[in-house]
Structure 1
C-alpha cells in the first residue's frame, strides 16, 4: 500500500512537470531533472502509463552481444571481481551495450523472479527512450557516471530500485558499454549509494584500460602516472605510439593529457594529434631507452602542457624487444654531474646543458633558491671539464664585508693600505688563474665593485690595489644567486651590462620540494654523511617517509643539517622519525600522549626506569644526559616517546585558560 501511494505521488509530480509546473521539483538534482524533461518533452513518455519491462529474444540478444564480444571477454575478470564484492550486499550487476541492452548479468538465483519483474536481467532494455530516467540510459546519454536512486527513476514501477552506472569508452572517447550495479531494496538516503558510485567508476576504468591494452597489444605503449609507485601496478594513463613517437590512440587519462596540450597550443589543422615527444619533454630516444637505462624501467618527464611531472614506463609488444630497434646510445657518463640527480625532469635539462658547457669558456649563471646546491653544481662543472686539475675558487660575495671585498677579490701590493699584510696578497681572482672562479651570491656585490669586475671579464686582467700594471688572468667565471636579477637591474642595484656578461648561459636549479627524485637526493646526502662519519646507522622507513613528506624550505642545505642532526643524536643503530628535527616530523611531533608525571607511566620497564631517573634528578635533563651518557636531544626524544611531561609544565597547562596553550605539547613551546 505504501509503495502504491509513493508511485501515485511520483506520477502526479511528473504529470505536473509535463504540464509545465515546477511544483515538487525543488530537491530534484539537475541531472535527473534534465532527464525527466527529455522523457516528457522529447520521448513523449506518459508518466501515468508505466511501461512493462522489455526483454529481448535470444536471437535479438545474440545480435547485440556479437559486436561487443571482444569487450565481454576482456571484461569478464573485472565483472566477476566486482560482483563478488557487491553480492553479499544484495546487489546485482549488469553490463550493457551502448544502446542500454543488458549483454551480461550477474545475480542471485534465489532472486530470479523478482529480478526478472524489475528488468534486472539478461536482455533487458534500459534505453532512456524506452525505460525513462534510469542509471544505464541516462549514463549512455550523458556519457558520465550516475546514481539513479529510487524516486529519481522516471517510471513509477522502478522507484523501489537503486541503480549506479558508469560508462566504458573506446579510445576515441565514445561510450561502448555501461557497467551498472542495482538493488531491489536500499536505504532511503541518497548518500547510501556513494560507495557504489566510486566502486563502479573504478571497475569501469579498469575494464576500459584492459580493453585498450588488449586492442593495441601489438603497439608500443606509454604508461604513466603522477605517482612513481603506481606506474607498473595501475598507471592511469595509456598512450599507444608508433616507433617515431606518433600517437595512435589513448585511454581517458591519455586523452585528457592530449586535450590539455591542445588547449595550450591549439592545432592549425583539425584532427591534429601531438606526438609523444610533444606531450612529454624529451626526445624519442629518451622514451625508447627507458627499459634499458632505468633499473625500475620508469623515468620522470615534465609534461609540457602544465609543467607538472609524470612518471612513464614503456610497455613493449609481446614477442618484440627494444634490442631489435635502433635505440640511441646513452650519453657518455660524466660522474661529477651524473651523481647530482636521478631522473628529475628539471635536473635532467640542467645537467644535459651542463654537459655541453663543461668544456666551453662561456660564463655560466646558476640560479635557484637558497640551499639548492648552486656551489655543488659549479664545482661539478669545473671537475668535469678541461680545467679540472686547476684551481677552483669559490667567493661568497654576501659573506665578505663590503670594506674588504675589493682587496679580497683583486689583491693588493705591500703598503697599499694600513693594516694589510706586509708582503701584500694575491686576490681570489688571481688565485683562480687557469681554473674556475665562482662568485656566489653575485646579486649582493656592491655596485662600485661591479664596474671593476666588468673590466676583468672584458679585458681578462686584474689590477691589484696599489699596482700600476694589470695582471693577466685566465679564468672561467661562474656566478650564482638566489636573487631576482631582473628586479635588481630594474631597481638600479645591478649593472645590466655586467649581467649580460655573466649570463652566457643560465642553469636554474629546482627547489627540493619540486624534485621528482627527492628519494634519491635524500639517500645520496645520507650516504655521504654516513661515509664522513664512518657510521653504519640505518635510516628507517618511517624516517624516510617523513623526510619525503616535508616541504624543505631550506632545500638540500636544510636536508643535510637535518640528517647530520639525526646522526649526531641518534640513540641506537637506526634513525627513526623521532630522531629527526621536530619540524621534519610532521604531525608525529605535534600530538604525543601526555601522561601525568606524578604517576607511573603505563609503559615498558625501561620507560619506568627512565621516569624514576627524571624524578630523582628533579627533571634536570642535563643531569640525566650525563648519567646515561647520551645527548640532551635524546633525553627529550625519550620523554616524548614515553609521554612524560615535567611537573612545572603540567601545572602550567592546568592553570592556563588558553585553548591554544592547552593543545600545544611542551616540546613545541
Structure 2
C-alpha cells in the first residue's frame, strides 16, 4: 500500500498531466518532458506502479558489485543524513539502473518510506514508476528536484525527491544520490535547499572515488571553474595527467582512458613547460636545492652526482 493523495486529488493530478501533454508543453518544461517519456513507457498517472523488486540475493550481489562506491560514499551519506534526517528525510544511494542499495532512515519513519515503495531493491527507473528523482536524474544525467505533484504517478505525489547522479573516476555514471521525504509540510523553498545539499554531497562522493582511484597522484583543481563542479586532475611525477573527474573532462574536452594515454598537464592548463632537456635538468637541480635548504653538497648527494658536477651544471645554466 503506497502513500498517496485522496481520490479527488488523484483525478486532478491525472487531468493536469494529460492537459500538459496534450498542449505539447514537453518542449518548454523538463518535468513535462519526463511525463511524456513516462507515457511512452506505457504508464498512466492513475495506474499503480509496476512494483519491480530485486530478490534478497540480487540485492546482496548489487551491494557487492558497488561496494567500492558504498565505502567511498559512507562518510558523506552519514553527514548528509545527520543534516536532513531530522526533517523526516531518507538518504538513498541507488545503482545506475535506479535500484536503491544503501539507505539511511530513522526507524520511526521507515514504515512511511516502505509504504511509498522506497526500499532496498525496488526499481525507481522512469520505465517502472515514471517521473521521480532517481529515475529522472538517470534519464537526464543531471540533478533534479521532483516535488510532490511533479511526479507522474498519482501514487508517488506524496513524495519530494532531490537527486543527483554520481560519476566514477572515469567520468561514467555509477550511482544516484537521493534525499526523499513524505512530509507534507515541505515547501518548494526548503526542497530547493535539499536539492543543493544533495548536489554538493554527490560532488564530494565523486571526489572521494577519484582520490581512492589515484592515491599516489597529485591533485590539481582546474583553474577558472567553480570548485563546486569538482573539476580535478590527477597528475603523476612526470607532470602527466593520468585521470580527470567528469567536470574536468567536460571542461577540457577529455575522453578515454587517461591512465593508458596520459596528457601533459602543461598542455591542458595552458602553462609553460620544459621543452628542452636542459630545462628539465635545471628544474630537477632547483628542486633538489630547495629540498636541501640551499645546501649544495646535500643536493648533490640527493641527485647522485658530485658537488663539483652540480656546481659546473649550475654555472653553465646561470
Q: TM-score, normalised by structure 2?
A: 0.77
Deviation at 1:9, TM superposition (A): 1.1
Instruction: Provide the residue aligned with 1:248 in structure 2.
Output: 242
Question: Map of 1:310-349 to 2, 5 A cutoff?
Answer: none
Q: Please give the secondary structure, in 1, of the residue aligned with 2:22.
A: coil
Go from structure 1 to structure 2 and tell me whether the alpha carbon gap of 1:174 and 1:294 turns closer, same or farther (over 3 Å shift): farther
Which residue in the other structure is 1:31 paired with?
Answer: 30
Partner Cα separation in structure 2 for residue 160 and residue 34 of structure 1: 21
Distance in 2 between residues matched to 1:213 and 1:324, nearest whole Å = 30
Q: CA 1:46–1:258 in 2, change beyond 3 Å: closer, same or farther? A: same
Partners of 2:304 and 2:47 in 1: CA distance = 66
Name the SS of the counterpart of 1:64 in structure 2.
Answer: helix
Q: What's the counterpart of residue 268 of structure 2?
A: 279
Q: Which has the larger radius of gyration?
A: 1
Distance 1:220 1:235, change over 3 A: farther
- 1:246/1:275 contact within 8 Å kept: yes
Query: 1:10 is matched with which residue?
Result: 13
Aligned to 2:218: 221
d(CA) in 1 for partners of 2:179, 2:285: 43
Counterpart CA distance in 1 for 2:54 and 2:181 is 21
Q: Per the alignment, do residues 5 and 245 of structure 1 end up closer, same or farther by CA in structure 2, a change over 3 Å counting?
A: same
**Aligned mate of 1:88, from 80, 86, 90:** 86
- 1:256-295 Cα distance to aligned partner (Å, 9 max, x none): 4422x89xxxxxxxx9874212023032669999997889
User: Which residue in the other structure is 2:22 paired with?
Assistant: 21
Structure 2 vs 1, CA of residues 287 and 139 (structure 1 numbering), >3 Å: closer, same or farther? farther
Q: Tell me how many residue pairs correspond in the alignment.
A: 286
- In structure 2, C-alpha distance between the alignment counterparts of 1:213 and 1:325, rounded to whole Å: 33
**Cα separation, partners in 2 of 1:273 and 1:126, compared to 1, 3 Å:** same
Q: Once superposed, what is the RMSD of the aligned Cα atoms?
A: 3.8
Report the more deviating stretch, 145-154 or 246-255: 246-255
1:528-568 deviation per Cα after TM superposition (whole angstroms, max 9, x unaligned): xxxxxxxxxxxxxxxxxxxxxxxxxxxxxxxxxxxxxxxxx
Q: Secondary structure at the match of 1:166?
A: strand
Distance in 2, Cα, partners of 1:44 & 1:247: 46
Superposed CA deviations along residues 401-426 of structure 1, whole A, max 9, x for unmatched, are: xxxxxxxxxxxxxxxxxxxxxxxxxx
The runs of 5 or more residues in structure 1 that have no matched partner are: 263-270, 296-322, 334-354, 357-669
Determine if contact 1:149/1:161 at 8 Å carries over to the other structure. yes
CA distance in structure 2 between the aligned counterparts of 1:289 and 1:175, rounded to whole angstroms: 43
Residue pair 1:221, 1:238 contacting (<8 A) in 2 also: no
Change over 3 Å in CA distance of 1:71–1:236 after alignment to 2: same
Cα offsets for 1:184-240 (capped at 9, x unmatched): 0144643331111111111111111001110122x422322659xx99xx9944222
Match among 92, 114, 117 for residue 116 of structure 1: 114
- 8 A contact 2:5–2:157 mirrored in 1: no
Structure 1 pair 14–290 and aligned structure 2 pair: CA distance change class (3 A): farther
Residues 529-544 of structure 1 mapped to structure 2, 5 A cutoff:
none
Q: Is the 8 A contact 1:92 1:108 kept in 2?
A: yes
Measured at CA, do residues 288 and 194 of structure 1 come closer, stay the same or move farther in structure 2, by a change above 3 Å? farther
Q: Quote the residue 1:181 is aligned against.
A: 179
CA distance in 2: counterparts of 1:221 and 1:89, whole angstroms: 39
Is the Cα–Cα contact under 8 Å of residues 139 and 165 in structure 1 kept in the other structure? Answer: yes
Q: CA deviation at 1:174?
A: 1.7
Q: Take 1:188 and 1:274, find their aligned partners in 2: how far apart are those partners?
A: 48
SS in 1 for 2:93: strand
Q: How much has 1:132 moved relative to structure 2?
A: 0.6
Contact 1:92 1:181 in 2 (8 A): yes
Looking at structure 1, the residues matched to 178 and 222 of structure 2 have their Cα atoms a distance apart, in angstroms, of: 27
- SS of the aligned residue for 1:180 comes to strand
Tell me, yes or no, if structure 1 residue 167 matches structure 2 residue 165. Answer: yes
- Change in 2 beyond 3 A, CA 1:237/1:15: closer
Q: Would the alpha carbon gap of residues 200 and 175 (structure 1) be closer, same or farther in structure 2, given more than 3 Å must change?
A: same
Going from structure 1 to structure 2, the CA distance change for 1:119 and 1:148 (only over 3 Å counts) comes to same
Aligned partners of 2:115 and 2:166: how far apart in 1? 27
Aligned mates of 1:289, 1:252 — CA distance in 2:
36
User: How far does the alpha carbon of each residue in 1:351-404 deviate from its partner, in whole angstroms, 9 at most, with x for none?
Assistant: xxxx98xxxxxxxxxxxxxxxxxxxxxxxxxxxxxxxxxxxxxxxxxxxxxxxx
Aligned equivalents of 1:253 and 1:293: distance in 2? 37
Q: Which whole-Å CA distance do the structure 1 matches of 2:304 and 2:66 have between them?
A: 35
Task: Look up the SS of the partner of 1:214 in the other structure.
Answer: helix
CA distance in 1, matches of 2:135, 2:124: 6
Within 2, Cα distance between the matches of 1:51 and 1:293?
A: 69
Is the contact made by 1:258 and 1:273 (CA closer than 8 Å) also made in structure 2? no
1 CA distance for matches of 2:63 and 2:7? 36
Change in 2 beyond 3 A, CA 1:40/1:223: same
The residue that corresponds to 2:128 in the other structure is 130
- Cα pair distance change 1:324/1:136, threshold 3 Å: farther
- Kindly indicate whether structure 1 or structure 2 has the higher relative contact order, using CA contacts under 8 Å at least 6 residues apart: 2
Q: Distance in 2 between matches of 1:142 and 1:127?
A: 12
Match of 2:6, SS state, is: helix
